[in-house]
Amino acid sequence: MYNKSFPAVMTAAGLALAGVPAHAQSVDETVNQIFADSTGWFVNLIFANFPGTSFPWIVAWLVIGATVFTIYFGFIQFRAVGHSIALVKGDYSDPNDAGEVSHFQALATALSGTVGLGNIAGVAVAVSIGGPGATFWMILAGLMGMASKFTECTLGVKYRNEYEDGRVSGGPMYYLSKGFAERGLPGGRILAVLFSIFCILGALGGGNMFQANQAHQQITGVVGQYPGWITGLVFAGLVFAVIVGGIKSIARVTEKIVPFMGLLYVGTALVIIAMNYHLIGWAFGQIFAGAFTGLGVAGGMVGALIQGFKRAAFSNEAGVGSAAIAHSAVRTKEPITEGVVSLLEPFIDTVVICTMTALVIIITQQLVTDPQTGLYLLNEAGNGVQTVGGTSGVGLTSAAFGSAIGWFPYVLAIAVILFAFSTMITWSYYGLKAWTYLFGEGDTKELVFKLIFCVFVVIGAAASLGPVIDFSDAAIFAMAVVNIIGLYFLMPVVKRELDSYMSRLKSGEIKKFE
């Protein structure tokens, strides 16, 4: 969804922040100061490395969780792929439920929240710091993350609230409180409240300010510098029209263009790879060799591994719990079916789209090697691989695509802006659900959150709020801490559901329609 190495993306893309008006600048500084002073400990805690290493414990937390779920559910991500595709196609959907939310729709909406800057800029950061080998670890982490998604999305449907009037609400806050209560475990309500708080902060930060900021960077990259608050106001206006004004057409247009952009991106990547077909074998050779030797990158094999794991986790949000909110609206009697469908999400996001970005960067030879040794050369700062144009982050992806297809960077800029917008819309909803969980439903209460959300769009686009964004990033990963604790306690519930469903599927009790 988004990309943690925010400063790297910005500086490497050669973009300084837009000229922010003087009064906003001072507000910036004040806000920065207050945030840095009061929240620095929290950010440091979440992104702390294991003692004596440069391996953040939060990455290990996500990967260990994914590994546990993978083993506990018997490699569900490989066993259930065929069934997953059949469910998305609607083979098991009751025709009488036509007009309700289909598996496809729940999946597509959840995907629109995760596919975004992480896939374009984040991967470039991973490859430029960790070398091609990072791709291998990224794919592995993506495959493991499928099991985390499966667990959380099954629970999301199982413990959702279905209201009298027909609306449906679900997500970690509901399964933490209801699931723990059902199993007679204490603390569910506390975890749910903590999750909601982190979710609101994450929605305002990573799901909003970061997106607005990166969209502004992209626009200035194409049309030249201008104040960020202008972009902010336009975006805030559009977001306001959608979430407050209920102007469905804007959302609908975005929801239609975003999948198209995603396909165009993957399609273009495939064309570029096909144009260099003779290098495909070499590229995979680099990925495998780099994965285990590092091929000279800073940090060697471990450096490649950390970068790959980090980007995968940050991009597909597996274990964070956010997607369970979107998936829980599906029309199904069997919670397992949505879990099985959600397996495809990290697969599409990480294993397909992120890998395409990495392959294009590697195959267009943006990373500079020493002709003598074949090892990658380090950049001047010594913290990453030297690239052809000295680019990194979204600039590197853009240069890689641009080296093969000259006009593609413009399309990429539009894609980034649209991805950012659709991610904002999706996260505004995640944040709102957490907000109403804490404060209760009601038009006024909801309006307050929506207005706060719009204000943060402007702040995000206008300012360079490093500490604020660090804090919001930390909040998203704090969601994962709370969520995965809950998943450990609730995974036996998922196991029971899975065993029951699979035996009924095998016996023919659950059949395809027509």
Partner 1 sequence: MSGKFVVGYDGSVSARRALEFAVERARAQGGSIVLTHVLEWSPYSFLTPNELEERHLRRREEMERAEKAIMHPVVAELKDSGVPVETAIRYGNTADQLGKVAREMNAVQIVIGRDGQSEIGARIFGSVAVALVQTSPVACTIVP
Is residue 512 a contact residue for partner 1 (CB under 8 A)? no
Q: Report which residue type is found at 42.
A: F
The 242-271 site mask, x for binding partner 1 (CB under 8 A), equals: xx----x--xx--xx-xx------------
Task: Tell me if 416 contacts partner 1 by CB under 8 A.
Answer: no
Cα–Cα distance measured from residue 3 to residue 296, given in angstroms and rounded to the nearest whole number: 24
| Position 238 contacts partner 1 (CB under 8 A) | no
Q: Which residues, 108 to 137, sit near partner 1 by CB under 8 A?
A: 108-109, 112-113
Shortest Cβ distance from residue 180 to partner 1 (Å)?
A: 24
Distances from the Cα of 272 to the Cα of 136, 348, 409, 419, angstroms? 20, 19, 14, 22
Residue 262 or 395 having the CB closest to partner 1: 262
Q: Other C-beta atoms within 10 Å of 369: how many? A: 17
Q: Give kind and range of the element (H or E) at residue 168.
A: strand 168-169
Cα gap 151→298, rounded to integer Å: 35
State both tokens at 370. 């020493």
In contact, 438 and 446? CB cutoff 8 Å: no
Q: Is 474 one of the binding residues for partner 1 (CB under 8 A)?
A: no
Task: Pick one of 3, 5, 102, 398: the residue that binds partner 1 (CB under 8 A).
Answer: 102
Q: Is 392 in the site for partner 1 (CB under 8 A)?
A: no
205 touches 471 (CB < 8 A): yes
| Interaction mask 75-94, partner 1, x per CB under 8 A | ---------------x--x-
Residue 234 makes contact with partner 1 by CB under 8 A: no
Give CA–CA dist 113/326, Å, rounded: 9
Nearer to partner 1 by Cβ, of 102 and 307: the residue is: 102
Residue 186: count of CB within 10 angstroms of its CB: 8
Out of 117, 325, 358, 475, which residue is the one contacting partner 1 (CB under 8 A)? 325
Q: How far apart are CA 217 and CA 228, in angstroms?
A: 9
Calculate the alpha carbon distances from 89 to 324, 327, 383, 414, 508 in Å: 20, 16, 46, 30, 19
> What is d(CA 409, CA 314) in angstroms, rounded to the nearest whole number?
24
Task: Select from 57-65, 166-174, 342-350, 462-470 the region that touches partner 1 (CB under 8 A).
Answer: 166-174
Tokens of 257: 């263009």
Range in contact with partner 1 (rule: CB under 8 A) among 69-77, 286-294, 325-333, 400-408: 325-333
How many angstroms from the chain centroid is the CA of residue 429?
A: 15
> How many amino acids of this chain bind partner 1 (CB under 8 A)?
38
Q: What is the smallest separation between the CB atom of 514 and partner 1, expressed in angstroms?
A: 10
**Residue 168 engages partner 1 in binding (rule: CB under 8 A):** yes
Closest CA to 457 of 498, 424, 495: 424
196 binds partner 1 (CB under 8 A): no
- In the bound complex, what is the minimum distance in angstroms from residue 110's beta carbon to partner 1? 8
Candidates 269, 326, 348, 484; binder of partner 1 (CB under 8 A) is 326
* Whole-Å CA distances, 398 to 128, 169, 259, 411, 414: 13, 39, 19, 10, 12
Give the burial class of 422: count Cβ atoms within 10 A of its Cβ; 0-12 exposed, 13-18 middle, 19 or more buried. Answer: buried
**Segment near partner 1 (CB under 8 A); pick from 101-109, 267-275, 404-412, 492-500:** 101-109
Residues sharing a CB contact under 8 Å with residue 360, sequence separation 6 or more, in sequence order: 269, 272, 273, 397, 400, 401, 404
- Residue in 100, 370, 441, 499 binding partner 1, rule: CB under 8 A: 100
**CB of 406: closest distance to partner 1 in angstroms?**
31
Site for partner 1 in 327-346 (CB under 8 A): 329-331
Return the residue of 229, 429, 449, 477 that touches partner 1, per CB under 8 A: 429
Q: Give 253: exposed, middle or buried? Use CB within 10 Å, 0-12, 13-18, 19+.
A: exposed
Regarding 167 and contact with partner 1 (CB under 8 A), the answer is yes
Instruction: Select the residue interacting with partner 1 from 68, 272, 425, 481 (CB under 8 A).
Output: 425
φ, ψ of residue 55 in degrees (nearest 5): -105, 110
106 binds partner 1 (CB under 8 A): yes
Q: Which is nearer to partner 1, 108 or 233 (CB)?
A: 108
Q: Which CB sits closer to partner 1, 125 or 479?
A: 479
The least distance separating partner 1 from the CB of residue 119, rounded to whole angstroms, comes to 18
Does residue 411 sit in helix, strand or coil?
Answer: helix
In whole angstroms, what is the distance from residue 395 CA to residue 376 CA? 19
> In the complex, which residues of this chain contact partner 1 (CB under 8 A)?
90, 93, 95, 98-102, 104-106, 108-109, 112-113, 165-169, 242-243, 248, 251-252, 255-256, 258-259, 325-326, 329-331, 425-426, 429-430
